[in-house]
Amino acid sequence: MEATILNTKDKHNNTQRVKQTNLPDFSHSDKLKTLYAWVEIITHVYSQSTGASICVSDENYSPLLEINAGEDYVNICKTCEKQDEHTKTKGSYFFYHASCKELHSNAIKESTRSGGSYIYTCKMGASFWTSPLYIDGQFSGSLTGSGSSDSKKIKALAEMLLICAMYLSSESESCHVVMKRHAAQQAIISEKLLLLKKQYPNGSVMPEYPMNTEKELLSAIRQGNLELGKQRLDELLSLIFFTNAEQFRQIQYRTIELIILFSRIYTKMGFSVKSIFELNKQYIASITMIPDLVLSSAEDDIVAAGIKEITDILHRILAETIAEVIAFKGMQHALALKKAEQFIQEHIDKKIVLSEIARVSGLSVPYFSTIFKEEMGENFSDYLNRVRTEKAALLLTSTDLTLNKIAKLCGFEDQSWFSKIFKLHSGMSPGRFRNHHGKKAVHIPNVGFYDRYIELIK
Q: Tell me whether residue 342 is in a domain.
A: no
- Mean pLDDT check: name the lowest of 52-61, 265-274, 362-371, 402-411: 265-274
Rounded Cα gap, residues 4 and 11, in angstroms: 19
Span 98-154, pLDDT tens digits: 678 888 888 898 888 777 788 998 887 888 999 988 877 778 889 999 887 888 888
**Nearest-angstrom CA–CA distance, 158 and 111:** 11
Among 297, 327, 357, the domain boundary falls at 327
Q: Render pLDDT for 235-290 as a digit per residue (tens, 0 to 9).
A: 999 999 999 877 778 888 888 888 888 887 877 666 666 667 777 777 787 787 76
Give how far Cα 124 sits from Cα of 75, 80, 120, 128, 251, Å. 11, 8, 12, 12, 44
pLDDT of 24: 44
Q: Which position has the higher pLDDT, 448 or 335?
A: 335
Number of domains the chain is built from: 3
Q: Are residues 354 and 225 in the same domain?
A: no
Q: Are residues 50 and 166 in the same domain?
A: yes
- How far apart (Å, rounded) are the C-alpha atoms in residues 344 and 354? 11
- pLDDT for res 298: 42
Domain boundary among 128, 145, 170: 170
C-alpha pair distances (Å), 454 with each of 328, 337, 350, 409 = 13, 10, 27, 28
Does any domain span residue 332?
A: no
Task: Give whole-number Cα distances, 162 to 157, 165, 170, 171, 431, in Å.
Answer: 9, 5, 14, 14, 71
Are 209 and 165 contained in the same domain?
no
Q: What is the pLDDT of residue 167?
A: 78
Which is higher by pLDDT, 349 or 248?
Answer: 349
Reduced to 3 states, what is the DSSP secondary structure of residue 129?
strand
Neighbouring CB atoms inside 10 A of 108's CB total: 23
Give the range among 86-90, 312-316, 381-385 with minimum mean pLDDT: 86-90
Give per-residue pLDDT as tens, 154-190. Answer: 888 888 888 888 877 755 445 667 777 778 888 899 8
The torsion angles phi and psi of 20, rounded to 5 degrees, stand at: -130, 135
**C-beta of residue 168 within 8 angstroms of C-beta of residue 39:** yes
What pLDDT shows up at residue 367?
Answer: 84
Ranges of H-type helices in 98-247: 98-114, 151-168, 172-199, 211-223, 226-243
Distance CA(354)–CA(383), nearest Å, equals 12
Do 245 and 372 lie in one domain? The reply is no
pLDDT at 366: 87
Give the pLDDT score at 224: 85
Segment of 202-216, 314-328, 433-447 carrying the highest mean pLDDT: 202-216
Which amino acid belongs to residue 258?
A: L
pTM (2 d.p.): 0.48
Cα–Cα nearest to 166, from 181, 156, 177, 155? 177
273 shares a domain with 390: no
How many Å apart are CA 124 and CA 113, to the nearest integer?
A: 26
- Residue 6 is inside which H or E element, if any? strand 3-7
pLDDT for 270 equals 60
Do 129 and 17 have their domain in common? yes
Rg (CA), the chain: 34
What span, in angstroms and rounded, lies between the C-alpha atoms of 170 and 133? Answer: 8
What is residue 116's DSSP assignment? S
Reported as a single tens digit per residue, the pLDDT across 421-457 is: 999 888 889 999 888 876 544 444 444 554 554 454 4
DSSP string covering 393-416: HHHHHH----HHHHHHHTT-SSHH
More confident of the two residues 384 and 296: 384
Residues 150 and 119 in one domain: yes
In the chain, % of residues over pLDDT 90: 12
Return d(Cα 283, Cα 320) in angstroms, integer: 11
Which CATH number is 82's domain given? 3.30.450
User: Within this chain, do residues 33 and 136 fall inside the same structural domain, yes or no?
Assistant: yes
Predicted local distance difference test score (pLDDT) of residue 129: 92
| 341 occurs within a structural domain | no
Residues 369 and 316 reside in one and the same domain:
no
Same domain, 323 and 385: no
Give the CATH number for residue 418: 1.10.10.60
Answer for the pair 61, 130: CB distance below 8 angstroms, yes or no: no
The helix/strand/coil state of 339 is helix
Determine what percent of the chain is predicted with pLDDT higher than 70.
73
Asked if the structure places residue 131 within a domain, the reply is yes
Interior/surface letters 311-347, b for 16+ CB within 10 angstroms, e for the rest: bbbbbebbeebbebbeebebeebbebbbbbbebbeee
Q: What is the pLDDT of residues 354-364, one digit of tens each?
A: 999 888 888 88
pLDDT band with cut points at 50, 70 and 90 for residue 406 = very high
For residues 121 and 108, give the distance between their C-alpha atoms in angstroms, rounded to a whole number.
13
Residue among 445, 393, 447, 379 nearest 422 (CA): 393
Quote the mean pLDDT of the chain: 76
> In the listed set 135, 170, 205, which residue is the last one of a domain according to the structure?
170
Same domain, 160 and 213: no
Residue 283 lies in a domain: yes
Mean pLDDT of 323-332: 74
pLDDT at 90 over 60: no
**pLDDT exceeds cutoff 90 at 231:** yes
- Choose from 64-68, 146-150, 232-236, 378-382 the range with maximum mean pLDDT: 232-236
Q: What is the full DSSP assignment across 47-110?
A: HHHH--EEEEEETTS-EEEEEE--HHHHHHHHHHHHHTSSSS-TT-STTSSHHHHHHHHHHHHH
Domain contains 237: yes
Q: Please give the residue range of the domain that contains residue 412.
A: 347-457
In a domain, 360, yes or no: yes
On whether both 165 and 78 belong to a single domain, the answer is yes
83-87, 172-176, 269-273, 297-301: range with highest mean pLDDT: 269-273
Give the closest residue to 349 by CA, choosing from 409, 267, 418, 289.
409
- Across residues 290-309, what is the average pLDDT? 54
338 within domain boundaries: no
